[in-house]
Amino acid sequence: MEKTGDKNSKPSLGKETRDLLKESGLKARKSLGQHFLVGRRVLGKIIASGGITKEDVIIEVGPGLGVLTLELAKLAGQVICIEIDSSLAANLGGRLSGIDNVSILNRDVLGTRPSEVLPPGETRYKVIANLPYYITSPVLRHFLEAEVRPCLMVVMVQKEVARSIAAIPGKMSLLSVGVQLYGRAEIISAVPARSFHPVPKVDSAVVRVTSYPEEIIPAGCRGSFFEVVRAGFGSPRKQLINTLSHGLGMDKENVSGRMLEAGIEPKRRAESLSVEEWCCLWRVLKKDEGEGECLH
Ligand code: SAM
C-alpha cells in the first residue's frame, strides 16, 4: 500500500493512518465510503491542481482522518470540512483544535447548502475532496447546481466515473453532460487502489472541474433541459430520433424536423452530442413551450 512511488524520507502515510485508527479505536466504515488516502504523491497532485492560495475558502467533503485537511489548512485562507461520521468529526476536531482556519462540521453534505456554511456574503469557494464514492454523482450535482456554485472542484472519484465526467463527444453520458454543462472537466491523475487504506476494489482518478462564470442554462430551465437529455440517453445505443420521440412523446417526423433545424442528423446517438449541441437541440424541441427563450 505504501509503494506509491514516494521516495522521500517522510513517514509512510499508510503506517500513520493505521496507527491513528488503532490509537483512536476507530474503524474504517466502508458503508460510508471510508477509504483513507495514503499516497503522498497523489496528495501532492490534488493540492497542486487546486491552485490554492490564502485568498481561498475551501469546502472539503468528508475530511476523514484529515490527511488532505492538514495540507489544505497550510495553503488556504479557510477550510470548511463537512463530515457525516460523528466519531471521525470529533476525533479530527480534537486533533486540529489548534489550527484556527479549519472548521469541522458534523453534517451530511447532501443536506447542507454551501451558503449555510460559507462565511456570510462569500460567493467564491473551491471544493477539494476525496469523495465518498457511493454518493459521487449526487455530491457533484449538489455543488454544481447550488445557488452559490464553486469556482473550482478537485475531486477524487472512481476511475470509470472520472472518464465519464471528462468524456468527449462519442463517449458522452448523462453524467458527462450533467457536469460539462457547468464547467470544463479534466482528469488530473490516475490513482491506483493501493493508494488507499483499506484498499478499495476499484481504481480511482483525480478530476478537476473549472466552472464557467455564467450558467449556460438558467436554473429555471434546467428541468426541461435535462428532460430532453434524459430522453436522449433513454436507450443510448438507439438513434436519437427514436429515443427522443419515445421519451418526449413526440411523433418522429416532428422530432426529425426539429433535429435538422438544430443542425443535428436524426440518426446520431446521444453519446455523440456535445453540450453545445444538446443546448441547440433543447432550444428547438422546447421552443413551443417558450422555454428555449431561456438560452443565452
Ligand atoms: N478525506 C479523507 C481522505 O482522503 O483520507 C477521507 C475520504 S473517504 C473516501 C470519504 C469521507 O467522506 C469519509 O470520511 C466519510 O465518512 C465521509 N462521508 C461519507 N458520506 C458523507 C456525507 N454524506 N456527508 C459528509 N461526509 C461523508
CATH number given to 13-211: 3.40.50.150
Residue to mutate, 83, 110, 143, 195, ligand 1, most ligand atoms under 8 Å from C-beta = 83
Structural domain boundaries in the chain: 13-211, 219-295
| Whole-prediction pTM | 0.94
Is residue 14 in contact with ligand 1, taking CB distance under 6 Å? no
Do the domains spanning 13-211 and 219-295 agree at the CATH topology level? no
What ranges make up the beta strands (E) of the chain?
36-37, 57-61, 78-83, 102-106, 126-130, 152-158, 183-191, 196-197, 204-211
Q: Which of 167, 157, 139 is nearest to 205 (CA)?
A: 157
Mutation pick for ligand 1 pocket among 13, 61, 106, 133 (CB with most ligand atoms within 8 Å) = 61
| pLDDT tens-place values along the chain, 296 residues long | 444 444 556 779 999 999 999 999 999 999 999 999 999 999 999 999 999 999 999 999 999 999 999 999 999 999 999 999 999 999 999 999 999 999 999 999 999 999 999 999 999 999 999 999 999 999 999 999 999 999 999 999 999 999 999 999 999 999 999 999 999 999 999 999 999 999 999 999 999 999 999 999 999 999 999 999 999 999 988 999 999 999 999 999 999 999 999 999 999 999 999 999 999 999 999 988 865 556 54
Contacts of 290 (CB under 8 A, 6+ apart): none
Residue 109 in contact with ligand 1 by CB distance below 6 A: yes
Rounded distance between C-alpha atoms, residue 125 and residue 246, angstroms: 41
Question: Judging by beta carbons within 10 Å of its beta carbon (0-12, 13-18, 19+), is residue 223 exposed, middle or buried?
Answer: exposed
Ligand 1 contact, 33 CB (< 6 A) = yes
**Please, are residues 20 and 12 in contact by the beta-carbon 8 Å criterion?**
no
Query: Which H or E run includes 142?
Result: helix 136-144
Q: Which residue has the cell 476523514?
A: 64
Assigned CATH for 219-295: 1.10.8.100
CB 98 within 8 A of CB 79: no
